[in-house]
Structure 1
Amino acid sequence: MKEKVHTQLSLAKQASRKMAILSRKQKDEVLVAIGNQLLADEAVILSENAKDIAIARTDGQPASYLDRLLLTPERITQLVDSLAQLVSLDDPVGERIDSWTRPNGLFIEQIRVPLGVIGMVYEARPNVTVDAAAIAIKTGNAIVLRGSHSAVHSNLALVTSIRQALTATGLDAEAVQYLPFAEHASVDYLCTANGLVDVIIPRGGAGLIQRVLQIASVPVLETGVGNCHIYVDEAAHYDMAESIVINAKTSRPAVCNAAETLLVHRSWPQENQRALLQKLLAMGVELRTCERTIELHTDLAAQLHQATSEDWDTEYSALIMAVRTVDSLSEAIEHITAHTSGHSEAIVTEDEIAARQFLTAIDATAVYHNASTRFTDGGEFGFGAEIGISTQKLHARGPMGLPALTSYKYVVRGNGQIR
């Protein structure tokens, strides 16, 4: 298998050199062609996706997993729309980041260039297949995809459509590769293919990300899990707090920017606290609360579950939420600092001083004042389709749009200078 994987990677490496010199017009044309091909192949794609869904149901996968795996006509349309948005964005390749002239007359420019070959390891979500391939193409990169075997039918159908569009527009189809092997060893070979792969991007649960980090010898652009918090301050308006919390938890609980923990200031009116808990329960959310919250709302005690220490660190990806009552903003900040995954954290308050303190003190890729954590997304930030959300601090942080898929080089012009 190692030889087969390396053969694919070698083809991607060759294709990456061609991709790096494409014009924006050529790249945008193929993105449009991919969208048209997805629509033309919709019936086949949905049929293949149905096979994956059937297998997942037989295996007893939870509803949140099935939601991540599912493709629908509406979701395919959304993918096509994201491709159109990507076309509308500027091409970062060739952008002059900075320039200056040295005292000796050398003129130096810092120019954006593609990374080269990107290895993508990810779970479920077949939409990632299209998003990742599209953003790689827009940035002049080649990409080698290795999705989870549970989505293999969907992913192969999508990649077939993408490669057909590349060929139809006169580009090298080998710029988008898919590793179809079920064996985990294929991930090992991808992540240790120095010289063939320039960067690995893992996207999925904590287990997958940690495994890639442990085995990779190729540089890793680390994405992170989303243990996101919402803190409702004593100066929060109820209607806004309810709207934000319900949206952040229930609009799509399986995604990484969904809120997992609710912190409520003890001095927020008790009737507001009770109403918010009742609303969450009515929306089907299982609440795992601290002992103090149960004591404050004895009439709801039968519907509340005692939180364990593990709950504060869990990304549920389901209709489950941990709830804690805190005495102060400082206590909320301390709790978040101790348990955050560094993804997205929010405060709901009308107190500008409290908001400023929260936004300054919390170390995360995105911090929010009076808005849902669900906005941590490449499309919502105006980046177009994202390739992932980085919770690290080197090279790229937060939603990774087009610039994150580039590096840079220095172009130096002289008139005979020597040293």
Structure 2
Amino acid sequence: MDDLNQIGANAKRAAFQLANLDTTTKNSVLNQFSEALIQNIDTIVAANQVDLQNATDLPEKFVDRLTLNSDRIHDMAEGLRQVASLADPIGNVETGFTNSAGLMIEQRRVPIGVIAMIFEARPNVSVDASALTFKSGNAVILRGGKEAINSNTTLVEILQAVLRENNLDEHAIQILHDTSHETATALMHLNEFVDVLIPRGGAGLIKTVVQNSTVPVIETGAGNCHVYVDKTADAKMATDITVNAKVQRPSVCNSAEKLLINADVAEELLPEIASALIANGVELRGDERSRQIVKNIIPATDEDWSTEYNDLIMAVKVVDSLDEAINHINKYSTGHSEAIITNDYAHAKKFQQLIDSACVYVNASTRFTDGFEFGFGAEIGISTQKLHARGPMGLNEITTTKYVISGNGQIRQ
């Protein structure tokens, strides 16, 4: 078992060094991280192949998340370069004023300190999290799943080598080699050293961390995402967006899991949308009204409406109004991403106002809920809670603020 107290102490020490790094140094190291990934593609792919060979009992959706290839490694490298190009939030003055006593008061943005992450079979998280924490002056402790241990370890070792080459503390980025539940539980209670814990994975993992951690948690949610086709929707747009949202990468959290369609256009549009989905290998499960329109939709159960499939499965429901769609989504959604397809401006604005999710789209795919797509370079997770951060979390979302006050001898009367 890893010595978590030593790992935590090392991270705390490294965080103090990181907090004092200048932006130029941080950007240089991030670009070196990027170059190191490209130079070590063969090594990374070889380690990933070991994980894939061991993943004989993993569902296909997790195998997709686990897989690394040249294109995906180049994407990670580009993410590192993008993070390097972003403005450094550390030291920014959020507000500044002089109070009645003559004190100069500034609210400055500062690192959180030590961030821990517990995540499942997505090795790209190791790089994304390392990039964002390093740029924002935080140390990171990574605990990935056993399925990706070889990939994660190799990626972290490559980044640590770059840190050493720059005379920086390699403990700014650490990975736990023990992937047992006992180690994960111990990490959830490492309050002395860890300032915040971010779980990233399926609903079960997130629920376990939220319920058991004594370290403060930023909850990144599962994605039971919806597309609602309104009665004024353009047929081709509705089909294209629904297929993209479901099919483009079904194993990820911003993939659409539910299709709601207005009864006024269901007879006309649902056969076309369903045909396109089925042609892409999607299994459709629906309510009685949708099954009367498209005969090869199988019956949906009550459980389907709240399930995140992460697979080529989609549940379909016919609704009578925008209000019914909004109420259904707010009841069953995980608060991640929802979309309306409409040509009615008032309906679009009402949907965006009343849907209680982190990201609400009009006439666009839910697949855009992503730190890279939002211009953050990468993301440390997509928060579905409402305190501290919500939606894709980039640099600002993993910093905090402190007040810096300067006086010239004032005492309070």
Instruction: Quote the residue 2:96 is aligned against.
Output: 99
Instruction: Quote the residue 1:33 is aligned against.
Output: 32
Percent identity (aligned): 50
Instruction: Quote the residue 1:200 is aligned against.
Output: 197
Aligned partner of 1:305 among 298, 310, 319? 298
Q: How many residues of Structure 1 are paired with residues of Structure 2 in the alignment? A: 412
Deviations 1:125-165 (A, max 9, x none): 00000000110000001000000011000000000001001
1:334 & 1:55 partners in 2: Cα distance? Answer: 44
Instruction: Quote the residue 2:384 is aligned against.
Output: 391
Deviation at 1:62, TM superposition (A): 2.0
After the TM superposition, which residues 218-257 of structure 1 pair with which residues of structure 2 at under 5 Å, given as runs?
A: 218-257=215-254
The runs of at least 4 aligned residues of structure 1 exceeding 4 Å deviation read none
1:265 & 1:113 partners in 2: Cα distance? Answer: 48
2:187 & 2:19 partners in 1: Cα distance? Answer: 21
Corresponding letter in the other structure for 1:249: K
Q: Does structure 2 retain, via aligned residues, the 8 Å contact 1:33–1:169? A: no
After the TM superposition, which residues 13-92 of structure 1 pair with which residues of structure 2 at under 5 Å, given as runs?
A: 13-56=12-55, 58-59=56-57, 61-92=58-89
Instruction: Quote the residue 1:273 is aligned against.
Output: 270
Deviation at 1:269, TM superposition (A): 5.6
1:124 & 1:237 partners in 2: Cα distance? Answer: 38
Corresponding letter in the other structure for 1:48: A
Instruction: Quote the residue 2:182 is aligned against.
Output: 185
**Structure 2, unpaired ranges of 5+:** none
SS of 1:345 mapped into structure 2: strand
Instruction: Quote the residue 2:397 is aligned against.
Output: 404
Q: Does 1:122 align with 2:112?
A: no
Q: Does 1:382 align with 2:375?
A: yes
1:183 & 1:6 partners in 2: Cα distance? Answer: 16
Q: Does structure 2 retain, via aligned residues, the 8 Å contact 1:29–1:169? A: no
Q: Does structure 2 retain, via aligned residues, the 8 Å contact 1:288–1:307? A: yes
Instruction: Quote the residue 1:361 is aligned against.
Output: 354
Q: Does structure 2 retain, via aligned residues, the 8 Å contact 1:109–1:410? A: yes
TM-score w.r.t. structure 1 length?
0.97
Deviations 1:317-366 (A, max 9, x none): 01000000011111111110110100001100000111111111111001
Q: Does 1:164 align with 2:157?
A: no
Aligned partner of 2:152 among 152, 155, 176? 155
Deviation at 1:8, TM superposition (A): 1.1
Deviation at 1:296, TM superposition (A): 2.5
1:149 & 1:327 partners in 2: Cα distance? Answer: 46
After the TM superposition, which residues 281-300 of structure 1 pair with which residues of structure 2 at under 5 Å, given as runs?
A: 281-297=278-294
Q: Does structure 1 retain, via aligned residues, the 8 Å contact 2:95–2:108? A: yes
1:337 & 1:365 partners in 2: Cα distance? Answer: 12
Q: Does structure 1 retain, via aligned residues, the 8 Å contact 2:250–2:310? A: yes
Aligned partner of 2:318 among 320, 325, 331? 325
SS of 1:94 mapped into structure 2: coil
Q: Does structure 2 retain, via aligned residues, the 8 Å contact 1:287–1:321? A: yes
